[in-house]
Amino acid sequence: MEAVVLAILNALTLISILALVSIGLAIIFGMMDIINFAHGEFMTIGAYTLAYIQSLSFFLAAGGRPWTRAFWLALIPGYAARASGLEAAPWVGAFWLALMLAPVAGALVGILIEAAVIRRLYTRPLETILATLGISLILQKGIELTFGSRPQIIYDPIRGTLPVLGVDYPAYRVFIIAFSFVIITVCLVVFRNTQFGLDLRALIQNRDMAEALGINTRRVSRLAFMAGAALAALAGVLIAPLASVEANLGIFYLGRAFFVVIVGGTGTIAGVLAGSGLIGGLETALSYPMHPSLAFALVMITAIVLVRLRPRGLIPGFSFAHELLGKK
Amino acid sequence: MTEPLLVACGLRMNFGGVVAVQDVDILVESGELVCIIGPNGAGKSTLLNLLSGALKPLAGTIRFAGTEMVGRPMHQYARRGIVRKFQGASTFQWMTARDNLLVAGLGVAANSSGGLPDIGEALQTIGLLPQADTIAEALSHGQRQWLEIGMTLMCQPKLLLLDEPTAGMTVEGSRTMADLIQRLKGRFATIVIEHNMGFVERLDCRTLVMHQGQVICEGRFADLTQDSRVRDVYLGRPLRDASDR
Amino acid sequence: MRLALLFRQDPINRGERAVLVTFGTLVLAAMLYPLWASTYGITVVRDIMLFSIFALSLDYLWGKAGVLTLGHATFFGIGAYAMGILTIKVGASSLAGLFAGLGMAAALALVVGTFLIFAGVRLQYFAIVTIALSLVSTQIALSSSALTGGDAGLLGVPPFAIELIGARLELSDHLSQYFVALSLVTMVYLGLWLACRGNYGKILAAIRMNEYRARSLGHDTDLHLLIAFVVSAVLAALSGAVFAAVSGFVAPDLVGPLLSTEVVVWVAAGGRGTLLGPVIGAFAVTRLQQEISSIAAGLWPLILGILFVLLVFFFPDGVISVGRQIQAMLGGRRTLLRRQSA
């Protein structure tokens, strides 16, 4: 019984992270049927924001003329990160600051990508794949060149365990689950109950009609893109203490996120939750009896089978491709 | 008496909760020309989708030349002789008119014992001989409509399904189209969906009127124009009871 | 299916003659290259020629049939690993390794293709699934160390050897390997060129432009796409198997997403659908990669990324389209510039 609770909690942790990363992807995919291959990089940016702030705090704590040093170090983010490894008590506030700043960073990079690339390609889905693939390579390498190729050192912001349903579970993971739950609930409320959410849903169903009805589709798309990037960055901050923070952090989650979106159905948050539940749950369950990479492979194969059986996803959204294929 | 070419019975199709086609029966003899008219949303295009294999009906059968067609893949319909011209022009944009016709003919010709119809002749029939080597993208909308007709002819159809063939054409073009269809009558059967009443009148054939997924009456076009039910349907008035008349 | 009608061709026109002449010139240059090149140079060009076959296989699938795959290296890797495993671990002949690779690639393509294509999975969805394919293959290659050598791969793949009635023909020296690679790429190019220039090529083009319409005109588009997928997989495996046998090693990056995206760049940079373009693209981009890697190791992915973005925005039809545009300008005729979407 204890093992089951443990497994469920582990699954929930993964599902929470996957959901945060996938919401942005699902909305964009649902809105414009384009795939942003650089979406994983938002997550990486979030994680590196945390690494950067934490390493900055070391220098602040190291004494001397901290503020001037911090000023110069802020200009050369990599320097601080590379030189971290000094033995000093990490400033706990770094995590909470990162939690606030990372979404901003993600949104900024997101708006840059959207303006420079995606906006010009939104009627050409396959070109978008190629262009965003290029961008993801550029971003990854850029991060690696700035921060160095060694994994960043991240300190746990919350130590200790909490008793959950009779099991002592790491408090930090409980935080992840709770925090994600709050964020996703907010997303759902925005999606279902606000004007913006209504405009978004209209856009997803029929872009031309939405525009004809006077909805500023470009503005809505842009905002949705930024929001998705911010969510992914948030996920990056959350996962950073648990994962190896390297330049290619985003790729692993991107792969899973794609299948979450495809299996769950594009264009709806409910679909994202369904997909995350399935992919996250399955992967967690399978990683007990077998090697995790094999579990990953099996989940991929299952997802492919599901795509075949239900090409419109578990909770079908609206998408160009299905119109294109003549499927009704 | 031989069996009609097309015998479709009890066809039904829903989209979500909307009934698009409801218990429709259609009979078409070899070489016969039939028109289907009706207000928007009557289910005419859906019916054509069902007859051409683009959609699978929820219920009903479609017997064509003695064979049951429901459930077969769409390309089989064309190979057996049911060929459709789409609403709007759906051509292969970046290929020349000549190549468009070639590809159209190959689908059927490469899988049957007959030969490929003469492309030059097809170009002549649709009046695009001077544009033979122009890319479809560069043709005008009306010319593309004609190219589409040509493409369907290249498939050596036994039953031609035309979905609003005069849409976007000039009056002159519609007249030429009507003449062409009259000329081809007898060579193969044709079902025409149209909104252009002048065109339908010119064709002067058996006409069906559809409304809200059902066929409410049929007869010669001249007779139908007198029918009060048809007028009601087009003017949006509620259908009067049969006892009312 | 009446094959005669399917492959009927018109006589060669002027534009095609120019293409053939260009190709012939390249072949001639390749034949003369060993006269002044070093052994190292010969092995480099030999490898690039094998990569060209890989590029051609993708161009057939993507450029001609319109199916983008981001995991094509899966099939290249299957060919390479089959050759490596059978000749090293099992001790079988090179031919056995080759046929095993071709067979396995064909089988996988048949299974995955039937599964997806006949379900109507297309466009981006298909592309994403193929990525998953290459990720899964990479995982398998990395984890079954006993069979595949894991992270390090397999070393010491014996050179390609054919035994016929007692006589043994072995391709152990660089020159014979070079010329075998050259003849293979020539045959594959001419084969694809011939197959795609007649009615068959036009059918593929039509499917690429408007699959639904093609289907409504009687073409079994699912079958055509499946055939293209399987043939392309077999050609990719061919290049992979020969690559393993001449270079002597097999590694997991031969099956992974990086090589899969690189081959897309080769084809896109050269000119998708032109067959000749991807060959040139493979040469140009691979040489670029080698130069950059020698200057600054690890910088290549950044340049590759920039290349991708440039290609999409400035050279969507590849470098070869520049040649065509110059030709059109010189010719003075008003030609409609072909702009296809991916």
Average pLDDT estimate for A305-312: 70
Query: Which band of pLDDT confidence, cut at 50, 70 and 90, is reported for residue B177?
Result: confident
DSSP B34: E
- Length of chain A, in residues: 328
Helix or strand run (H / E) with residue C203: helix C199-209
- Closest to B37 (Cα-Cα) out of B175, B207, B237, B202: B207
Q: Tokens in use for C99?
A: 């046929």
Max CA pair span of chain A: 69
Q: Return the higher-pLDDT residue of B37 and A75.
A: B37
Domain ranges for chain A: 2-324
Average pLDDT estimate for B143-159: 90
Coil vs helix vs strand at C29:
helix
Query: Which band of pLDDT confidence, cut at 50, 70 and 90, is reported for residue C293?
Result: confident
Partners of chain B (3+ Cβ pairs below 8 A): A, C
pLDDT for the residue numbered A68: 62
| Least confident range of A175-189, A249-263, B33-47 | A249-263
pLDDT for the residue numbered A151: 80
Query: Which band of pLDDT confidence, cut at 50, 70 and 90, is reported for residue B168?
Result: confident
- Residue B239 has a CB neighbour count (10 Å cut-off) of 13
**Radius of gyration, CA atoms only, chain C:** 20
Residue B216: CB partners within 8 Å, gap ≥ 6? B209, B210, B229, B230, B233, B239
pLDDT above 70: percentage of residues in chain A: 80
Nearest by CB to residue C213, choosing from B92, B135, B137, is: B92
Average pLDDT estimate for A269-292: 86
Please list every residue in chain C whose beta carbon sits closer than 8 Å to the beta carbon of residue A142: 302
* pLDDT at A172 > cutoff 60: yes
pLDDT for the residue numbered C225: 95
Residue C275: CB partners within 8 Å, gap ≥ 6? C56, C59, C60, C63, C189, C192, C193, C196
DSSP B15: E
* pLDDT at B2 > cutoff 80: no
Q: Return the higher-pLDDT residue of A104 and A297.
A: A104
Query: Which band of pLDDT confidence, cut at 50, 70 and 90, is reported for residue A326?
Result: very low
Average pLDDT estimate for C287-306: 86
Average pLDDT estimate for C132-139: 84
Cβ burial A151-175 (10 Å sphere, 16+ → b, else e): ebebbebeeeeeebeebebbbbbbe
How confident is the model over C242-268, as pLDDT tens digits?
Answer: 999 998 889 988 888 889 989 999 998
pLDDT for the residue numbered C91: 81
Query: Which band of pLDDT confidence, cut at 50, 70 and 90, is reported for residue A315?
Result: low
Nearest by CB to residue A294, choosing from C143, C268, C298, is: C143
Average pLDDT estimate for A227-235: 92
Interface of C with A (CB under 8 A): 68, 70, 115-116, 119-125, 127-129, 131-132, 135-136, 139-140, 142-143, 212, 261, 264, 268, 298-299, 301-302, 304-309, 311-313, 316, 341-342
What string of H, E and C letters represents the secondary structure of B104-172?
HHHHHHCCCCCCCCCHHHHHHHHCCHHHCCCEHHHCCHHHHHHHHHHHHHHCCCCEEEEECCCCCCCHH
Contact A124, A324 (CB under 8 A): no
Provide the sign of the torsion angle of the four alpha carbons C9, C11, C14, C18, taken in this order. positive
Query: Which band of pLDDT confidence, cut at 50, 70 and 90, is reported for residue B38?
Result: confident
How confident is the model over C34-84, as pLDDT tens digits?
Answer: 888 888 889 999 999 999 999 999 999 999 999 999 899 999 999 999 999
pLDDT above 90: percentage of residues in chain B: 24
Please list every residue in chain A whose beta carbon sits closer than 8 Å to the beta carbon of residue B55: 328
Residue A120: CB partners within 8 Å, gap ≥ 6? C313
- Residue B162 has a CB neighbour count (10 Å cut-off) of 23
Nearest by CB to residue C341, choosing from A124, A141, A293, is: A124
pLDDT for the residue numbered A37: 85
Contact B138, C336 (CB under 8 A): yes
Q: Return the higher-pLDDT residue of B225 and C204.
A: C204
Query: Which band of pLDDT confidence, cut at 50, 70 and 90, is reported for residue A69?
Result: low
d(CA B129, CA B121): 9
pLDDT above 70: percentage of residues in chain C: 91
Average per-residue pLDDT in chain C?
86
pLDDT for the residue numbered C229: 97
- Residue C151 has a CB neighbour count (10 Å cut-off) of 11
Coil vs helix vs strand at B82:
strand
Question: A235 exposed, middle or buried (CB, 10 Å; 0-12, 13-18, 19+)?
Answer: buried
Please list every residue in chain B whose beta carbon sits closer than 8 Å to the beta carbon of residue A328: 15, 55
* pLDDT at B16 > cutoff 60: yes
Q: Return the higher-pLDDT residue of B44 and A306.
A: B44
The amino acid present at C49, given as its one-letter code, is: M
**Residue indicated by tokens 């078409």:** B28
Interface of C with B (CB under 8 A): 1-2, 5-6, 199, 202-203, 205-206, 209-210, 212-222, 336, 338, 340
Average pLDDT estimate for A73-82: 56
Average per-residue pLDDT in chain A?
79
C210·B90 Cβ contact <8 A: yes
Q: Return the higher-pLDDT residue of A80 and A27.
A: A27
Chosen from A25, A112, A133, A143 to mutate, greatest number of chain C CBs within 10 A: A133
**Residue indicated by tokens 């077969």:** B72
Q: Tokens in use for A177?
A: 């689950």
B15·A326 Cβ contact <8 A: no
- Closest to B64 (Cα-Cα) out of B161, B182, B151: B161
The amino acid present at C115, given as its one-letter code, is: F
pLDDT for the residue numbered A220: 87
How confident is the model over A22-43, as pLDDT tens digits?
Answer: 988 888 777 667 778 888 899 9
Helix or strand run (H / E) with residue A265: none
Helix or strand run (H / E) with residue A241: none
Contact A229, A27 (CB under 8 A): no
Full-model pTM: 0.85
Beta strands B82-85; B33-37: pairing state: unpaired
Average pLDDT estimate for A132-153: 84
- Residue C337 has a CB neighbour count (10 Å cut-off) of 10
Going along chain B from its start, the domains and CATH numbers come out as: 1-73+190-238 (3.40.50.300)
A293·C142 Cβ contact <8 A: yes
Q: How far is B82 from chain C (nearest CA, A)?
A: 9
Provide the sign of the torsion angle of the four alpha carbons A122, A125, A127, A133, taken in this order. positive
In angstroms, what CA-CA distances link B84 with B127, B155, B166, C220? Answer: 20, 10, 14, 16
How confident is the model over C80-135, as pLDDT tens digits?
Answer: 999 999 988 888 888 889 999 999 999 999 999 988 888 777 877 788 788 888 88
pLDDT for the residue numbered C7: 81
ipTM of this predicted complex?
0.88
* pLDDT at A304 > cutoff 50: yes
Residue B109: CB partners within 8 Å, gap ≥ 6? B115, B116, B117, B156, C2, C5
* pLDDT at A111 > cutoff 60: yes
Query: Which band of pLDDT confidence, cut at 50, 70 and 90, is reported for residue C188?
Result: very high
pLDDT for the residue numbered A322: 42
Helix or strand run (H / E) with residue A304: helix A292-309
Interface of A with B (CB under 8 A): 326, 328
DSSP C252: G
Q: How far is C89 from chain A (nearest CA, A)?
A: 23
* pLDDT at A90 > cutoff 70: no
Q: Tokens in use for A62?
A: 């190291």
